[in-house]
Structure 1
Amino acid sequence: MTRPSRGRALRGTHSGAGRYSIDRIPRGRAMPPRRDTVRDLLHYEYAKLIADAAIRGRAGTAPASRVGSEYWSFVMATYRRLQKGELVPSSILRENKLLVSGDEGCAYCGCTESLQWEHIVPRAMGGPDTIDNLVRACPPCNQRKGARDPLEWYGENRSHIPRLVMGKLLKILFEAHASAGTLDARTFPEGQRLSTHRLVEVFRTLDSSSG
């Protein structure tokens, strides 16, 4: 496994309330759609994850290969269907079935020795103590990840986050923002531009409101 960078996720140059930060756009890639709300941003991440499997056949811990017009055309079409409600992301049950029926390896590197249950969003960050937020991980990956969520841990290599991990993360993020009433928020946290790596702060919000 290539160790994830500890750097921050790449950001675009947009600024101001109601704007969003984006990955730097690779050569030959079309400008991504406007993502004005938390829901838009999550749907866009879902669309990329779906395209990883449908177009690139991504499986296991293999990094995503997000290049080519066919791939990005599929992303855009999938995003539009998600936005219109014509396509609904797979249920969390499907991800849990993948966890049980998939290969018995670390969710991050595939190692099969001394596996432990690991919280995708750490409990210290307000992550839920449920199967939705759990994967199997080897001790080295568990220790390197520490009290960080996958987006923070992988940093610039966010596209390398394994499909199982990212799929479960997106689902619990969607549920958490639905509970917090922030799916249609144009800034998150309040007053800050939208960025995928900031969306996990919703768990702290829910944790503090229930405390």
Structure 2
Amino acid sequence: MPPPEPGAPRRTVSDLLRWSYANLAMAHAALVEGATRYAPRHYAIRSKIHAGLRDGTMSIGPLADDERLKLVLPIACCYCGARENLTTDHLIATSRGGPDAGDNLVWACRSCNSAKGARDALAWLERRGEFPPLLLLRRYLKLAFQLCAPLGALEQAPEEAPQLPIELARVPQKYPAPSELRLWVTPL
């Protein structure tokens, strides 16, 4: 998100999450179209969604949509795409405040699950030099909104927010070119 203008209202945790979610929608549209770079229509999608999220005329999609995807996506590790030695992983570790619930469970191979451990998934993927698959990032952002709300953190400045179950600094504010993105870890 661009730096705020002098005298502009302070940015909040919600602002950062909304901007990332709007960028996600832009990236998803471009990737599905097979675009290699963002075009004006993609920026218009981002702008419309960001404005709608900000003024309350739009909302983040329900986690139930992502749960339905579990039924149609290939069963594979959500981090590397492996299809053997699968376990379940808490996308946001329970030790960090993530819920022990189906919405927070993803498939992970034993190797990735062990390597990630209780780390923030986005921080772990970043250390590996990888941008998360868009469908995984979408679930992560939805969970982030859901987990930050009861903490009263959404309307606080990031530096003033209580300890969060996510590493807010890892939530992407800028997305790579569509040619560098993937929808999921395996072809759909």
Normalised by the length of structure 2, the TM-score is 0.72
Q: Do structure 1's residue 197 and structure 2's residue 169 form an aligned pair?
A: yes
Tell me how far 1:134 sits from its aligned partner. 0.8
Deviations 1:54-106 (CA, angstroms, capped at 9, x unpaired): 22218xxxxxx775554334322321121122222210100111122211111
CA contact (8 A) 1:108 1:141 kept: yes
The equivalent position to 1:133 in structure 2, one of 89, 100, 104, is 104
Matched, 1:36 2:11: yes
SS of corresponding position for 2:114: helix
Q: Normalization by structure 1: what TM-score?
A: 0.65
Counterpart in 2 of 1:7?
Answer: none
Tell me the equivalent position of 2:27. 52
Q: Is the aligned partner of 1:152 residue 2:123?
A: yes
The 3-state SS of whatever aligns with 2:78 is coil
User: Match of 1:88?
Assistant: 59
Cα distance in 1 for partners of 2:46, 2:130 equals 14
Pick aligned residue for 2:50 from 69, 73, 79: 79
The equivalent residue for 1:209 is none
1:105-140: per-residue Cα shift (whole Å, max 9, x none)? 111122211211001111222221011111001122
Q: Is residue 114 from structure 1 mapped to residue 89 from structure 2 by the alignment?
A: no
Deviation at 1:148, TM superposition (A): 0.6
Residue type matched to 2:143 in 1?
I
| Runs of 4+ in structure 1 over 6 Å off | 156-159
- Segment drifting more, 140-149 vs 126-135: 140-149
Q: Deviation digits for residues 20-40 of structure 1, max 9, x if unmatched?
A: xxxxxxxxxxxxxx8711111
Mapped to 2, the partners of 1:144 and 1:66 lie a distance apart of 33
- The letter for the 1-side match of 2:118 is A
Q: Which stretches in structure 1 are left out of the alignment for 5+ residues?
A: 1-11, 20-33, 59-64, 200-211
Whichever residue aligns with residue 23 of structure 2, its letter is: K
- Give the Cα–Cα distance (whole angstroms) in 2 for the partners of residues 84 and 155 of structure 1: 31
> What is the one-letter code of the residue matched to 1:197?
A
**Counterpart-to-counterpart distance in 2, 1:43 and 1:177:** 13
How many angstroms apart in 1 are the aligned matches of 2:108 and 2:12?
A: 33
Query: Given the superposition, is the C-alpha separation of residues 93 and 66 from structure 1 closer, same or farther in structure 2, using an over 3 Å criterion?
Result: farther
Identity, % of aligned positions: 31
Correspondence for 1:101? 72
* Contact 2:87-2:107 within 8 A present in 1 as well: yes
Residue identity matched to 1:56: L
| Residues 151 and 162, structure 2, Cα contact 8 Å, conserved in 1 | no
